[in-house]
Amino acid sequence: MTNSTRYPREWAWPKDARIAVSVNMAFEAFLRASQVTLEKTSNKVDHFSMSYAEYGAKSGVWRILDLLDEFGIKASVSTNGLAAERWPEIVRAVADAGHEINGHAWANDQIMRDDDPQAELEEIRRCTKVITDAAGVRPVGWTSPGSAGSANTLSFLKGEGYLWNGDDASDDLPFLRETRNGPMVIMPRTNIFHNDYAMWIMGKNPPGIIWEGFKDSFDELYAEGGKGAPKWTEITLHFHMAGRPTLIPTIRKCLAYAKQHQDVWFARKREIAEWALQRESNAERTLFSPQEQQ
């Protein structure tokens, strides 16, 4: 189909799907505090906040896996190395269910710095080993906590054999970015407006706000796909947030709505990245140069 929109990139999905949809889960662990607390305790470990995060391993993960089974959807899960170390049996269960396990740094409340590249490289290698040992399969995708990667992240990941990175929000489609170790597939965050943390917890909105954002995004992108400019969208579910019974009906509504449509490609992020790499490598393409030296 000829692109009749002003969007300049020519694109196509497998079987000429009008839209690609992925589900990204997050399995996170923390050193001092999670995203939710009742009282800030900067001078010590926030034990209540830590317990909020542990809900994901105790209850949330199983509820989300059951929900995905309802729809036959295979997802991706951003996994902290510390979570894989603490709960390897959960990582293995998720991987055995056919979901993709990705790197998500060591602890979710610890960010890598631009001025300590050796520490970052060691962390990537440490996370990769722990996640591989737990999952039984090596991760090929990586998103930094808060997508806050350093100036060195992309080159390090490419050098360690990673396929894709999610520390970006600049487009609706994957693209290639050159690093000193070769091209990395960039998987921009298309999930912010259907992200349980951003829209429900941080935004202090009722659960239904996620349904509203997902439906509006899906409808607009599905229409663009019908005009020859297919796109991609994603919904993000943290085990310790979306895994609570309050949000599950909203997520079920989103997935059911997408499933009602024809020409939708439900895929893990690995498959989307592999498609993008093959497509862009086989075509005459322009690599997007990083803003900073990689």
pLDDT tens by residue, the chain, 294 residues: 799 999 999 999 999 999 999 999 999 999 898 888 877 777 788 889 899 999 999 999 999 999 999 999 999 999 999 999 999 999 999 999 999 999 999 998 888 778 889 999 999 999 999 999 999 999 999 999 988 889 899 999 999 999 999 999 999 999 999 999 999 999 999 988 899 988 988 888 999 999 999 999 999 999 999 999 999 999 999 999 999 999 999 999 999 999 999 999 999 999 999 999 999 987 644 444 444 433
Domain 14-282 falls under CATH 3.40.220.10: no
User: The pTM is what?
Assistant: 0.92
Q: Is 189 helix (H, G, I), strand (E, B) or coil?
A: coil
Residue 144 main-chain phi, psi, to 5 deg: -75, 155
Let me know: does 166 contact 182? Beta carbons within 8 Å: no
DSSP state of 200: I
- HSE, CB side, 13 Å, CA atoms: give it for residue 79: 35
Cα 168 from Cα 292, distance rounded (Å): 13
pLDDT of residue 291: 43
pLDDT of residue 57: 97
Contacts of 17 (CB under 8 A, 6+ apart): 225, 230, 263, 264, 265
* E-strand stretches of 47-181: 76-79, 100-103, 141-142, 164-165, 175-179
> Residue ranges per domain, the chain?
14-282
Cα 12 from Cα 18, distance rounded (Å): 8
